[in-house]
Amino acid sequence: MSDRATEMPTPPALPTPIAVPEAVSPTRQTWQMFYQNRAAMLGLCILLVIIITSIVGPLLYTVPPREMVWMPLTPPGQSEYLLGTDYLGRDLLAGLINGGRVTITIGFAAAVLTVLIGVTIGALAGFFGGWVDTTLMKVTEFFQVLPNLLFAMVVVMLFSPTLTNIAIAIGIVSWTATARLTRAEFLRIREMDYVKAERSIGAGNSRLIWKVILPNAAPPLIIVAALSIGSAILFEAGLSFLGLSDPNAMSWGRMVGDNRPYILDSVWGVTIPGLAIFLTVLAISLVGDGLNDAINPKLRQR
Amino acid sequence: MNTQVPATVLCVSDLVVHFPLSDGKVVHAVDGISFEVPVGTAFGLVGESGSGKTTAALACARLVEATSGTVQLGDIDITQATGNALREARRDIQVVFQDPFSSLNPRERAGSIVRRPLDLMRIGTPAERERRVDDLFATVGLRPEQKALFPHQFSGGQRQRIGIARALATNPRLIVCDEPVSALDVAIQAQILNLLARLKRELGLSYLFISHDLAVVQHLCERIAVMYLGQIVEIGSRQEIFRKPMHPYTMALISAVPSTDMDTADTRIRVKGDPPSPISLPPGCRFAGRCPYAVPRCSESLPELVTKDGSHSVACFRADEPELQIKR
Amino acid sequence: MTQNLLSVQDLEISFRTVAGEVQVVRDLSFELAQGEVLGIVGESGCGKSITALSLLGLVPNPPGRVSKGRILLEGEDIVTASERRLRQIRGNDISMVFQEPMTSLNPVYSVGEQIAETARAHFNSSRSEAWERAIEMLQLVGIPSPERRAHEFPHQLSGGMRQRVMIAIALVCEPKVLIADEPTTALDVTVQAQIFDLFRDLQHKIGAAIILITHDIGVVAQMTDRVIVMYAGRKIEEGPVSAFITDPRHPYTRGLVNCIPRLSLDPSDDPEPLFEIPGVVPSPSDLSLPRCAFAPRCRNAFALCLEKSPPLLPVAEGRAAACWLETEKPG
């Protein structure tokens, strides 16, 4: 079996030794560009702080978020509860810390779902083309023309508003853009000669899709995935604001929604969780933009 | 496995590749071509864009599905082979692509690109594969230390060397070269052409060489077929084609090459216009509309490829007439 | 000597990169006379295309800029000209034909409109006059049934036809200088031959000076009067085309002329290996050393080549080369 691999004539003398540079993978180049981007690094730091706070915070700051602990509608700085209390006398800081956990979990979960559905459908449509493409794109169009918020509301109301269902509802309504982008990337890369070359050495379809094309299609998808965390957080906030939130979990959107009727008595109850949402989504956008700049092929092609 | 060495490595007969369009029309990319590639030689397919030369070559490597006809590689018809038979056949026919910037996966290291065919076809042990990759790098004029680098860290010529090393990995009998130098700078073209010539001599390789550049084909190929709109209009040895071209299109191609010989400027045959579209083809000779020697008969029926002398064939009604004889 | 139409003096073009500013063109000087066809030859990255853009004031800024030198068009400096003045110069005095005819035409206007629009802007003529001028131009560049073709859109035309339209647009304002940057690289040889016939023909009729940028030695031999060879941003040889082909002086030029396979009408059975220039073009950031930029690839390089970059010196009547070997020669 291996006989053919060794029947090579003696190779000619090696070309004169040269200084071989260090190997630089495209991925490493991207990270180097990313590290040099101050705005993106700032976004990343903010995001890390928020994520770490929402993971570790509840262990350190043990005030229960859903119990009355002080006089309702206390402004920040006027009690031992740093950010004051809401209309039920619940500690806003505890709400913020615990709600962050829920909000961010839903954001990530929904984004993962968005990417999974979107990439699978887009990859299959773009790679196989023909009737597979036509069918999958019709499905995509169907989901695209549905009014997102209404459809998500229907899903959540039909299957009780648990955290899982909310994440699934958000994922189901937001994968279409990812699918389209994935398909476009696959259509482009499918025609590349290195894909033909892989085929000519006997690579099968699944290797071509997942091991050859997908890694090369990944850069723009990573940007979209990052940004979709932000939009999932906003979407969750919107649903909570409309009262469709898990009654057993505190989230930032729910805090805004709950405190909305009392906005004239206490702006803080709405502003503080609102700011948290704003800051998180801003940080995610900064990271996404930074990734976009770092990945921009025009800067890297030469 | 290689007990008997046949005289021809590849035998293409009546190959047809049609692409249906969504509006029911058909692109006649390749329309019934036949040729043979003798062992240890280079066979050139020349033509302009739209002549179907690249499609024909890709069909021979089963990267495009043939509509009909056969491509015989040893005992296997590549157009029909499936599963393991196709995988086996793919060992023997490899491709070098035109654009060295798109033919290498940007996310793979050079060494693993070259090793990939051995991995996929499970040739040798991992250690043997690694040694083989070192040999291949040396064969194409790269240093083994460069295995760890990524494609973007190489120049165009070096990338093309990597592409050639990958094609050589499985020790194929035939390499399809699809315009392997046309994307390279002139000074680099010479390096790659010399490398291909050396490999042919040293490894006894055969090439199916696709190019639009007559000078390159003349330099490398023993036999040459000229394609026009999906068909071979003339086929012959290097000497036959250039000493005594018989088809008006071949003559036009030869005289259109800007020569560095400053005196030949005015002995030219000029053709008018552009080739018709391969979707709606004229009924007669496909070149008739641009041919300076066309007579009414040419646009009525299609001339067949007829052997004139030796191994020299031409598809032209008027090939024997004195008007078409080249004056030297 | 007659008054030169275009005179480039000590041109230097720099680009800002992450590694600092690099010079992609240095110390470039040349003259272009009325009615002359000048070829600029070199490999990709030698600075020939950016030189062409600088003649139109089109160096992308940032990251690029003309950092030194003058470009005099009939005595007027293009480098310091205002954007307003440059717009007048482009098309009226200097125009350009690009390599890729598909992307250089606007897909949403008919070709007639595109030619007429250019004519109207420059001649201040009426719509109908401009349209007639457009049809005249299409006729001039050899497009059959121009009245009908003028209404067609770029995607309806073949590559050769589109390049003819580009030439029509470039010539409609009767420029004094026409710059053609690889005008036939994207075209087939039979069509390339037609386009070059057209160039020759038009040059007789209109009398514009042409700067032809190409990598194809055959094209240079057939089309030009005089040749400049560029390597790594510098002019390394200059001279009449016949001398360039038959007796190149710079080792790089010699390599360039000899490394291409030449079409022979009586080919031999066993062609000689081609002449090779080893190695690759240096990147602009490698050029900080004071040596001759070609020295690492040169078979004849000696100690001096690695110490000092050779100046461009006359080697014969109307010829110059930048090589230490040439200066050593007697006479």
Domain coordinates in residue numbering, chain C: 97-174
Report pLDDT digits (tens) over C58-103: 888 778 889 889 999 888 898 888 888 888 888 788 988 887 766 7
CB contact under 8 A, C271 and B215: no
What is the end-to-end Cα distance of chain A in Å, rounded?
A: 41
* B308 HSE (CA, 13 A, CB side): 23
* C305 HSE (CA, 13 A, CB side): 20
CB contact under 8 A, B194 and C43: no
Using alpha carbons, select from C87, C101, C102, C96 the residue that is nearest to residue C212: C96
Using alpha carbons, select from B311, B279, B288 the residue that is nearest to residue B43: B311
DSSP tag of A90: B
State residue B211's pLDDT score.
Answer: 93
Distance CA C194, CA C3 (A): 32
Subunits in contact with chain A (3 or more CB pairs closer than 8 Å): B
Report whether A243 contacts A96 (CB < 8 A).
no
CB contact under 8 A, C222 and B261: no
Distance CA A59, CA C160 (A): 73
pLDDT at A190 over 60: yes
Q: What is the pLDDT along chain C (331 residues), one digit of tens a residue?
A: 456 889 999 999 988 877 778 888 989 999 998 889 999 998 888 888 899 989 988 888 778 889 889 999 888 898 888 888 888 888 788 988 887 766 778 888 898 998 888 888 777 788 888 899 899 888 888 888 888 888 988 888 887 888 888 888 888 888 889 999 888 877 788 888 888 888 888 888 878 899 999 988 888 988 899 999 999 888 999 999 988 888 888 999 998 888 888 888 888 878 888 888 888 788 766 777 778 888 888 888 888 888 888 888 888 888 888 888 877 654 4
For the record, the structure tokens of C7 come out as 């005179």
Distance CA B22, CA B76 (A): 33
CB contact under 8 A, B242 and C280: no
- Nearest Cβ partner of C221 from B189, B216, B262? B262
Three-class SS of C168-217: HHHHCCCCCEEEEECCCCCCCHHHHHHHHHHHHHHHHHHCCEEEEEECCH
**Omega before C63 within 30 of 0, i.e. cis:** yes
Residues of chain C contacting B159 with CB distance shorter than 8 Å:
none
Sign of CA dihedral A235, A236, A241, A243: positive
C residues 148-187 near B, CB within 8 Å?
158-161
DSSP tag of A76: T
Distance CA B247, CA B249 (A): 5
B93 burial type by CB count under 10 A (0-12 exposed, 13-18 middle, 19+ buried) = buried
Report whether C115 contacts C169 (CB < 8 A).
yes
Report whether B197 contacts B181 (CB < 8 A).
no
Nearest residue in C to B290, CA atom: C190
Tokens 């230490």 sit at which residue? C324
Best mutation site among B102, B140, B175 for testing chain A: the one with the most A CBs within 10 Å? B102
**CA dihedral of residues A15, A19, A22, A25 (deg, nearest 10):** -40
AA letter at C28 = L
Q: In what helix (H) or strand (E) does residue C249 lie, and over which residues does it extend?
A: none
Is residue B189 less than 8 Å (CB to CB) from chain C? yes
Report which of residues A31 and B196 the model is more confident about.
Answer: B196
Q: Show the domains of chain B with their CATH numbers.
A: 8-324 (3.40.50.300)
- Nearest Cβ partner of B105 from A4, A8, A216? A216
- Nearest Cβ partner of A201 from B116, B128, B145? B116
- DSSP for B156-215 reads HHHHHHHHHHHHHTT--SEEEEESTTTTS-HHHHHHHHHHHHHHHHHH--EEEEEES-HH
CB contact under 8 A, B138 and A14: yes
Is residue B63 less than 8 Å (CB to CB) from chain A? yes
Report pLDDT digits (tens) over A94-149: 888 888 888 888 888 999 999 999 999 999 999 998 899 999 999 999 998 888 88
Report whether A88 contacts A68 (CB < 8 A).
yes
- CATH number given to A36-66+90-297: 1.10.3720.10
DSSP 3-state of C42: coil
For the record, the structure tokens of C307 come out as 């110490």
State residue A9's pLDDT score.
Answer: 43
CB contact under 8 A, B135 and A203: no
**Other Cβ atoms within 10 Å of B127 Cβ, number:** 8
State residue B264's pLDDT score.
Answer: 53
pLDDT at B326 over 70: no
pTM: 0.83
State residue B217's pLDDT score.
Answer: 94
Best mutation site among B219, B220, B226, B244 for testing chain C: the one with the most C CBs within 10 Å? B219
Q: In what helix (H) or strand (E) does residue B69 lie, and over which residues does it extend?
A: strand B68-73
* B44 HSE (CA, 13 A, CB side): 24
Is residue C189 less than 8 Å (CB to CB) from chain B? yes
**Omega before C62 within 30 of 0, i.e. cis:** yes
* ipTM of the predicted assembly exceeds 0.90: no
C-alpha A110, offset from chain centre: 8
Is residue B173 less than 8 Å (CB to CB) from chain A? no
Residues of chain B contacting C223 with CB distance shorter than 8 Å:
258
Report pLDDT digits (tens) over B147-169: 999 998 888 889 999 999 999 99
B220: closest CA of chain C, how far (Å) = 8
Mean pLDDT score across all residues of chain C: 85
Using alpha carbons, select from B100, B215, B182 the residue that is nearest to residue C260: B215
Report pLDDT digits (tens) over C244-271: 888 888 999 998 888 888 888 888 878 8
Report pLDDT digits (tens) over B44-90: 999 988 889 999 999 999 999 999 999 999 889 999 988 888 988 99
Using alpha carbons, select from C18, C211, C191 the residue that is nearest to residue C97: C211
CB contact under 8 A, B99 and A14: no
AA letter at B92 = D
